[in-house]
């Protein structure tokens, strides 16, 4: 019988156990590559959905979102506070191909332990998240994942799908983009969002972010993925998904709210969270809440 309040720690324990071995293996791989030619630039997964935003328009979209969400983002761009984020982010962005996007890094005073990104290159990491991270390596993994969302243009693609429902097929200047964002807001109740997109977004972000982190370490993304799989027995994307779901159990038990656990653990809706939870654990979150201790297969 596995006590559910112990489950969130399993992912952290497994990472600590394997961290040194992965670092040693990566170092060996790095040393082996020194006698070979430089590897090709990080490859970005091709978009499978249309995107009507140019890089410049995507930056404008992010600027508009930042203005609209200013109080919720609780951003602080003080150099003394954000310098560490910027230093790590700049090293990672140097490993990415030229995209025309502008990466900017902000410390957020939002109360959750979280990181998130906005179209065009804005990346926010909360103070609480920073306090949980034990090293710049872990910070690089968090920022790399958010960069993955940006370089795969996921926000622009999602907003393209919404605008197409409103019969919008092209954009012009910043004022036009601002009008279209307001049109999306005004039509929110009529628009249909793709419920399957968020988890696909996470996996694509993992792939691009992992590549950037790997190159910063001096190895290729496939090498790091292979080392991770050899040490943990699962792909990085699957490990991240399970670790996120395990952490959601703690949130679920503390709040007694499925919706709260879903949103706080990064899912866009309770339905998407319930589907992922059931697929992984074979039961629903409510089933877990109904038992003082639940057997959940890893």
Q: Please, which pLDDT band fits residue 66 given cuts at 50, 70 and 90?
A: very high
Q: What percent of the chain lies above the pLDDT cut of 70?
A: 77
Phi–psi pair at 156, nearest 5 degrees: -65, -40
DSSP state of 188: G
As a whole number, mean pLDDT of residues 176-195 equals: 89
Q: Please, which pLDDT band fits residue 9 given cuts at 50, 70 and 90?
A: very low
**pTM, 2 dp:** 0.68
Go through the domains of the chain in sequence order and give each one's CATH number.
1-34+219-298 (1.10.10.60), 48-193 (3.30.2010.10)
Would you say residue 2 has pLDDT above 70? no
Average pLDDT, the chain: 77
State how far the Cα of 146 lies from the Cα of 209, in Å rounded to an integer.
7
Strands (E), the chain: 75-76, 104-108, 115-118, 122-126
Structure confidence at residue 97 (pLDDT): 79
8 Å CB contact between 226 and 206: no
Each residue of 73-125: pLDDT tens digit? 888 878 888 999 999 999 988 888 788 899 999 999 888 778 889 999 999 99
State how far the Cα of 203 lies from the Cα of 54, in Å rounded to an integer.
23
Each residue of 15-63: pLDDT tens digit? 333 333 444 444 444 444 444 444 555 666 666 789 999 999 999 999 9
Structure confidence at residue 135 (pLDDT): 85
Which of 135-144, 160-169, 188-197 is modeled with the greatest confidence?
Answer: 160-169
């Amino acid at each position: 019988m596995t006590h559910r309040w112990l489950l969130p720690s399993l992912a952290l324990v497994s990472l600590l156990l394997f961290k040194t071995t992965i670092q040693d293996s990566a170092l060996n791989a790095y040393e082996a590559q020194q006698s070979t030619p430089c590897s090709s630039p990080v490859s970005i997964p091709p978009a499978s959905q249309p995107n009507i935003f140019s890089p410049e328009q995507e930056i404008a979209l992010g600027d508009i979102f930042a203005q609209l969400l200013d109080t919720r983002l609780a951003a602080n761009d003080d150099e003394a506070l954000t310098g560490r984020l910027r230093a790590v982010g700049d090293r990672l962005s140097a490993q990415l191909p030229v995209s025309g996007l502008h990466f900017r890094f902000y410390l957020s005073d939002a109360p959750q332990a979280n990181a998130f990104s906005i179209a065009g290159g804005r990346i926010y990491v909360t103070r609480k998240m920073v306090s949980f991270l034990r090293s710049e390596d872990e910070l690089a993994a968090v920022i790399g994942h958010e960069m993955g969302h940006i370089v795969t243009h996921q926000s622009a693609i999602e907003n393209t799908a919404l605008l197409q429902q409103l019969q919008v097929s092209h954009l012009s200047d910043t004022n036009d983009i601002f009008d279209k964002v307001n049109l999306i807001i005004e039509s929110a109740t009529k628009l249909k969002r793709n419920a399957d997109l968020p988890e696909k977004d996470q996996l694509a972000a993992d792939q691009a972010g992992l590549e950037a982190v790997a190159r910063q370490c001096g190895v290729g993304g496939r090498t790091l993925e292979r080392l991770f799989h050899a040490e943990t027995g699962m792909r990085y994307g699957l490990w991240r998904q399970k670790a996120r779901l395990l952490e959601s159990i703690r949130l679920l038990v503390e709040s007694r709210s499925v919706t709260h656990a879903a949103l706080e653990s990064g899912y866009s809706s309770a339905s998407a969270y319930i589907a992922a939870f059931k697929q992984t654990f074979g039961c629903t979150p409510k089933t877990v809440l109904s038992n003082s201790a639940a057997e959940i297969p890893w």
